[in-house]
Chains A and B, each alone.
Chain A
Amino acid sequence: MPSNPVSPPDDDTWPYASQTLTFDWPAQERFARWSGDRNPIHMDAVYARRTQVGAPVVHGIHLVLWALEHLAATQPFTVHSLTAKFKAPAFVGEHLDLEVGAGAAGKRRIRVQGGGRTLAVIQLNADVSPSAEVAVLAAVLPGQWPETPRLVTQEQMTTQESRFELLEDPALMRWFPHLCTAIGATRVAALAGLSRLVGMICPGLYSVFNDVELAVVEPLPFDPTQTASAPLTFRAISYDERFRLVRLQVGGAGIAALLGAYLRPSPVQQPDCAAIQQRAVVSTRQFVGATALVVGGSRGLGEVTAKLLAMGGARVILTYAVGQQDADRVAEDIRRHGGDCEIRQYRIGDAPIVAAQDGTAVTHLYHFATPAIQGRRETLFQADVLTDFNRFYCDDFHRCCEALSAHGHPVRAFYPSSVAIEDPPVGWVEYAMSKAAGEVLAVELGRRLPRLQVLVHRLPRTETDQTLSMRQATAMPALDVMLPLVQQMQATV
């Protein structure tokens, strides 16, 4: 059993050597400080909701350090090489478990599990992996760590190379004492530096860390119980355009590694009001007299709908749940192009909005509020996921319609259903079920509630953040989808 080189910190007893763990926001901040990886998919909940995973993700290398510290604290620990594969995102606040198993020829396999699924697999080998031999990177020139994540394009990917100094943070030794003893504090810092390399430099902003194959290189040029200034050098050695997969060779600080990382799709940018005006898709007087409430109007279908309505002369009340910056951006675009737009924060369950701030009654409702659609699914069907969708697609639509009907003015409401009802993509069962239930409800509301007309339409797969995929999937532009529907909705104004 290795000795503990330093005492654990007195001010916090974070259980890195525990077999179960929940990574909270302070833990995210700690790792960002140690590693320098401040990619917003890890650090910004509002940003992360616009990614495929829909929520902030724990740094993959942070999981690896936790797993290795646990192993080093509980078992004799010798490692010459390791591989880590990140199979699914671990979310901030999620309960995670470690499962340690022995493999053949002295190998050890550690699984990080969450929600009944394996999220990462780390394998330790007693031998050196030939493909991760010392990188020949001597010719690479020094560079600077960026303050914010780089935006590397596909064209630039194969030209990426640089040499960087590692962060010197003694906290790493306090938090990972057994691991530092086992492999040296500098190598622990180098591991953390891999996260920074992928998240901040290459592929940078739109990165997904997929795998690492790492060999311990001797001799370690520094005292194993102290971090010290050490360069880490990398070079992009291949880029596969089909999958947007870059492979990086990394060397220095007592390690040699091969990394795989994907360039994930960027958030979908909807057309601005100038583009809508240029295409002359609506006349500026077409919707005058209407006051339209667009619930969930800060991005995606709601954003396009709000812009279309405003460019057609309607007064728009646009709501957002958490993305105020997005809502501000949409509203500014609308106002800059002569439109009338009011922003309100509205979370499902809040008192429904029935009028503009000056008391003008809402005449049209477009209800696009939604949770993240693409999440991890452990089983074919999860009742809690269905319940969550129903809160948005049924409960809140019902509440809004009832309140508007009771307000005493004629109202038309749009219910955005989906073709997924007819052929649900893998993992979209609960979504399709909830939309089907919402359709039934919407029709009934139109029949039963006074002064309310409801238009239900099954939308095709549309280009929004919610349909982002690592695979090339066919999706229609949101503007093309919503234009005829908005015109149909507003036809009787």
Chain B
Amino acid sequence: MTEAQIYEKLTVLFQDIFDDDHLTIHADTTAGDVAGWDSFNHINLIVSAEAAFGIKIQSAEIEELQNVGQFVKLIHHRLAAKG
């Protein structure tokens, strides 16, 4: 899966979790840019992404994420490792 495809799939998850059909995400999107992105919905986002992409992310990796771009790269690496 390409990073562009990951962005596409992730956008749908973001729109669902933050209940905004027009929400768009970019590499530099952070929690401060999205209304309702609190610690509770941050976890819901990770849980949804794990289910949607069939991957598992470590707690330490989650805490290091600074923006959507890093999240996409992490998903990309994890998918690539799965083969």
Which A residues are closer than 8 A to B by beta carbons? 87-88, 111, 117-118, 121, 208, 210, 240, 242-243, 245, 262, 374, 376-380, 426-427, 469-473
Contact = CB atoms under 8 A, between A and B. Distances in A.
Contacts of B19: 87, 111, 118, 121
A111 B18 CA distance: 12
B40 A470 contact: yes
B70 interface: no
Contact of B59 (A88, A208, A380, A472): A472
A243 B40 contact: no
Contacts of A262: 40, 43
Size band of the B side of the interface? 20 to 34
B42 A471 contact: yes
A379 B39 contact: no
A475 to B, nearest CB: 13
B43 to A, nearest CB: 5
A493 to B, nearest CB: 41
10 contacts: A87-B17, A87-B18, A88-B38, A121-B19, A240-B47, A242-B58, A245-B43, A376-B38, A426-B37, A470-B39
B1 interface: no
Contacts of A376: 38
Interface stretch (B4-12, B28-36, B72-80): B28-36
A473 B31 CA distance: 15
A208 B38 contact: no
Contact of B35 (A240, A378, A471): A378
Given A243-B47, A469-B39, A426 B32 contact: yes
B68 interface: no
A87 B36 contact: yes
The 3 closest A-B pairs by CB, nearest first: A118-B19, A470-B39, A471-B39
A427 B62 CA distance: 19
Interface of B: 17-19, 30-32, 35-44, 46-47, 58-59, 62-63
B36 A470 contact: no
Given A87-B19, A118-B19, A121-B19, A470 B35 contact: no
A377 B63 CA distance: 22
A404 to B, nearest CB: 38
A310 B23 CA distance: 54
A378 B59 CA distance: 28
A243 B35 contact: no
Contacts of B62: 242, 471
B25 to A, nearest CB: 16
Contacts of B42: 470-471
Given A243-B47, A377-B35, 20 more contacts: A87-B19, A87-B36, A88-B40, A117-B36, A118-B19, A210-B44, A242-B62, A379-B35, A380-B32, A426-B30, A426-B38, A469-B39, A470-B40, A470-B42, A470-B43, A471-B42, A471-B62, A472-B59, A472-B63, A473-B39
Contacts of A118: 19, 36
B36 A242 contact: no
Nearest to B40: A470
Contacts of B38: 88, 374, 376, 426-427
A107 to B, nearest CB: 14
Nearest to B57: A242
A87 B38 CA distance: 10
Nearest to A379: B35
A471 B43 contact: yes
Contacts of B30: 426
Contacts of A378: 35
B41 A245 contact: no
A426 to B, nearest CB: 5
Nearest to B17: A87
Given A208-B40, A426-B32, A242 B17 contact: no
A426 B31 contact: yes
Contact of B46 (A111, A243, A473): A243
B40 to A, nearest CB: 5
Contacts of A472: 59, 63
A240 B58 CA distance: 12
Q: Which of B30, B44, B46 has the most CB of A within 10 A?
A: B44
Contacts of B40: 88, 208, 262, 470
A426 B39 CA distance: 10
A92 to B, nearest CB: 19
A207 to B, nearest CB: 13
Contacts of A470: 39-40, 42-43
A389 B80 CA distance: 48
A174 B47 CA distance: 39
